[in-house]
């Protein structure tokens, strides 16, 4: 699902050097590491928003430097650190269907309706709600649902639980786990011990410019 082959990257200074790691179908990896070490940057390399300066990143079988982020997005669902960066529409339904219209433009109306009903029921969302009236936790769930409605093979989540309460974290962990059981994979940046504890996952740390288990 995801493969780093001798990947180096930096903006001014090198953040990683010769990173190698792989994530297989059915695996969840949680990535930790100190503030500013480069975790969010590493996630952006996974969906091609950034390209390695050396080495190769393969996402769902595609080399990221040979494919546009927009086409990789059909396979890799990306959640930014702040949900409000992700949200662009007025109502929950509009937001969720917008993501789908980008990655699966051929979806017919009946299927859209079915997917919308399923994902809103799963995350306790109301399709008619205006997003700006929702709490930050629910806005985060809207952002998460807008990724999951497209059913990506690889989930790339940056600090998904920051504004979630205990119940919402459990809903998210269950949602991720059921997709992993169906053969997807997930790379999740998180320091939330309560959340990591309920996920059956591999633990990775970004330290000294490499990823360690």
Residues that bind ligand ADP (CB under 6 A): 11, 15, 33, 35-41
Query: Which CB sits closer to ligand ADP, 95 or 158?
Result: 158
Smallest gap from Cβ 42 to Mg ion, in A, equals 9
Interacting partner of 15 out of Mg ion, ligand ADP, none (Cβ under 5 to 8 A depending on kind): ligand ADP
β-pairing, 2-10 with 14-23?
A: antiparallel
Contact of residue 37 among ligand ADP, Mg ion, none (CB under 5-8 Å per partner type): ligand ADP
Tokens 């990683």, located at residue:
16
Closer residue to ligand ADP, CB minimum distance, 11 or 132: 11
CB of 157 to ligand ADP, least distance (A): 13
Q: Could you tell which of ligand ADP, Mg ion, none binds residue 53, using a CB distance below 5 to 8 A set by kind?
A: none
Q: Torsions phi, psi of 158, nearest 5?
A: -100, 110
Q: Which residue is nearest to Mg ion (CB)?
A: 40
Which residues inside 18-77 make contact with Mg ion, applying CB under 5 A?
39-40
In the complex, the smallest distance separating the C-beta of residue 82 from ligand ADP, rounded to whole angstroms, is: 12
Q: Which is nearer to ligand ADP, 81 or 177 (CB)?
A: 81
158 burial via Cβ count (<10 Å: 0-12, 13-18, 19+): buried
CB neighbour list of residue 201: distance below 8 Å, 6 or more residues apart? 27, 28, 29, 30, 186, 188
Residue 50 C-beta: closest distance to ligand ADP, Å: 8
Closer to ligand ADP by CB, 42 or 173: give it.
42
Q: Is 146 helix (H, G, I), strand (E, B) or coil?
A: helix
CA distances to 23, 117, 178 from 201, rounded to whole Å, are 11, 29, 13
| End-to-end CA separation in angstroms for the chain | 18
Determine the Cα–Cα distance for residues 56 and 59; give it in Å rounded to an integer.
Answer: 10
Kindly state the number of chain residues that form the binding site for Mg ion, as judged by CB under 5 A: 2
């Amino acid at each position: 699902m995801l493969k780093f082959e001798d990947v180096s990257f930096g903006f001014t200074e090198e953040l990683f050097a010769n990173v190698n790691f792989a994530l297989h179908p059915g695996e969840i990896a949680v990535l930790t590491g100190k503030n500013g070490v480069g975790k969010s940057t590493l996630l952006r390399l996974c969906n091609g928003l950034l390209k390695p300066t050396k080495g190769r990143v393969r996402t769902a079988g595609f080399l990221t430097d040979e494919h546009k982020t927009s086409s990789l997005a059909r396979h890799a669902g990306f959640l930014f650190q702040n949900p409000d960066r992700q949200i662009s529409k007025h109502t929950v339904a509009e937001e969720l269907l917008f993501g789908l219209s980008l990655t699966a433009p051929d979806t017919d109306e009946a299927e859209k309706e079915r997917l919308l009903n399923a994902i809103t029921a799963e995350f306790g969302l109301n399709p008619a709600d205006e997003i700006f009236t929702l709490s930050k936790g629910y806005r985060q769930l809207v952002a998460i649902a807008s990724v999951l409605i497209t059913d990506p093979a690889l989930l790339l989540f940056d600090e998904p639980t920051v504004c979630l309460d205990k119940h919402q974290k459990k809903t998210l962990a269950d949602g991720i786990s059921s997709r992993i059981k169906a053969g997807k994979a997930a790379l999740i940046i998180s320091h939330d011990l309560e959340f990591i504890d309920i996920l059956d996952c591999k633990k990775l740390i970004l330290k000294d410019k490499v990823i360690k288990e």
